[in-house]
Amino acid sequence: MRYLHTMVRVSDVEASLAFFCGGLGLEEIRRVDDEKGRYTLIYLAAPEDAAAARTNAAPMVELTYNWDKEDYSGGRNFGHLAFAVDNIYEICSKLSSQGVTINRPPRDGHMAFVRTPDNISIELLQRGSPLPPAEPWKSMKNVGSW
């Protein structure tokens, strides 16, 4: 058995790509537009997984955009996607500057939670040892649910 991908339904392709690619730094690996099925599939991979994703079609995040408007709810019921990051403070600063709310700030230099434009919870984990606690993060409170 081999892990392939996690599928997340999205309502706005551009906003989702701005979050996953522009914010988190994932790379678009492949895109499929199916006119008969009226959907678009966009496969993304973390930079360190991009070569494997191109070669083995895994591991990836699949964004599914249904052309016919649907209202998605229950993002919290999905759980979350988790990514190891090189500097949790830098990525949280980048996301925050793009208007993303840091729901669970990285007060401990180790873990943070944010949400996608479709309210999917994303866990960010500092690669290796936690960074030393630093402002403004160590004084920030949780916002909303994560």
DSSP 139: G
CA angle, 35 as apex, 23 and 33 as ends, to 5°? 30
What whole-number distance in Å separates Cα of residue 138 and Cα of residue 103? 13
What whole-number distance in Å separates Cα of residue 16 and Cα of residue 44? 11
Give me the catalytic one of 48, 90, 123, 135: 123
Residue 123 bears catalytic tag: yes
Q: Which of 99, 93, 2, 91 is nearest to 53 (CA)?
A: 2
CB 124 within 8 A of CB 112: yes
Which residues are part of the catalytic machinery? 123
